[in-house]
Structure 1
Amino acid sequence: MQDLSSSLAWRGDHFCGRFRAMASPCELLIDCQDEILARRILDSAISETRRIEQKYSRYLPDNMMAQINNGQGQPVAIDDETYRLLQFANTCYELSDGLFDITSGVLRRAWKFDGSDRLSSAEKVQALLPLIGWHKVNLDEKTLSMPPGFELDFGGIGKEYAVDAVAKLAMQIAPKHSVLVNFGGDIQVTQPRAAQQPWQIGIEDPNRDDHALKLIQIRHGGLATSGDARRFLLKNGIRYGHILNPKTGYPIVGAPRSVTVAAEHCIQAGMLATLALLQGPDAKDFLEAQGVCYWICE
């Protein structure tokens, strides 16, 4: 069934499909001339994105995340997909020495990154720190349990996971056609285009609205950007981005304005971009040590 909130347009040598999900503009560039095939890819992408969002959004009252977050210390049954996502979150936690922690979403109660100068109070932050700590979560292939008051938040990996899932689905539907999946700047390209020309992607300049910092040519793989272009606080000349240190409860200071990373898959690129920002002023050294292709905007 066609999603009425979506659009599909011919762009001269490819189709462009658009819809909105996960609080982001979502776009598919489809390297084919068959409108029926392009529509099938787009509609399948919308269905898969909605499925993931409805399953893992922390804003919905009766989904998988709600069951986990309302477990009150009791074991909650999880499925294979959820277990794999949690295992990936565990990998991020270990690689970052505890700085990437999906239990730290509770800090949103203390911080609102709306561009104002309103920093949180120490009392609010300190009150939340006992509710953070992935190491306190018990996980196996079938169940998850965590201390009462704890919450999980897939916000740091959910969109990238959806991008990869949609790209995989597009590859199954159209194995001979290149599809670029772009959800708010998180990108995956299924394979090179038929004529071998690259897709061109602009990296947003965090210092200038509607301006590309750099044009990147991409033929295959993932690309993700993390930064403070839209979510920040500014007080006494100091800019506080929305990336929070779960150990202190405060924003990371001294990080680049944005980090873009290329990797085999979007979720890997997103993880590395976020982990880099969590290093603060050492972001570049971290990326160099990973041996990945990256772009930094100070």
Structure 2
Amino acid sequence: MSSIYLGDGVGKACERVSISNQTGYTWLNQWNKYGYEGLIPHFNGGRPSKLTKEQLEQLKEKLKSKGDWMTSEVRALIKKEFDITYSNRQVSRILRSFKMHYAKPHPHDYRRPENAKEILEDSLKKAVNEIHEKCVIGFLDQAAPQTTDNKQRFWSFDKPKITKNTTKYRANTFGFYPINGKEVVEFMARSTARYVCEFLRIISEKNNGKHILLILDNARAHIAKRTESFAKSIGITMVFLPAYSPDLNSIEQIWKSIRRKISQTFIKSQWSFRETIRATFHHLAKKSSFAQGWLNKFQPILSN
């Protein structure tokens, strides 16, 4: 402004202070309207939110009324309730500020009893009351990993590729994941009562004949009279999970980790496939972390 008062034109004055002509004319208009005060910058700390604090609180309460939301659903809700349009990215920022979680929902079968946890608690109490000695506690389950499983995601600038042997291998696998004993993994031809009994025998031998409290699902081969009779004869007390409740069987997370390992590994043969499963199972089953959540729920019963 001093240069203009000294006789310079707007263009010359702008050149002296290295600003654009557009900025120079803006400053001149501000000077003419408001004087010196018009040239003082006002910093607001960034662009203000379209939603007020009160509206954000209202939105948060509405979101609590329903369990799970897709980003598109929240966008539509904001538009409907407040007539404000946000991008998916902006909506995600708002939801993170609410401390909401963004994850794949854990599936629960609609046939799973609502009181599954209480049902298992009752079964455990009954079993524990009938055992009068120190015992091994563990989980049994069968799985059938195969080389076509692809559970691993990768970061990549291009479409991710992995070199694999596309020959399909599959292994019917029995696993025992103990909380306080020796883990066992074996490959069986079938999953009938005969093979379940054989696996129970191996579990008992590997754990020196100690009494075993075994938690397992109610598959047909597990609840067969032959299986129950044999288990009882070798000192194994079986506690059956409520129907459609795999989340209460801690070994399920080990199978999931094994499938992820297989998807990362180049499998050369059926033998190497089985060895990958065997080695990974033994490594993971030595960790108590897979059962930690289960123990947090049911440890008081086992301690009585």
Class of the TM-score when normalised by the shorter of the 2 chains: under 0.3
Query: Please, what TM-score do these two structures have when normalized by structure 2?
Result: 0.23
Query: Please, what TM-score do these two structures have when normalized by structure 1?
Result: 0.23
Instruction: Kindly indicate which of the two structures has a greater share of residues assigned to helix.
Output: 2
Instruction: Kindly indicate which of the two structures has a greater share of residues assigned to strand.
Output: 1
The structure number with the bigger radius of gyration is: 2
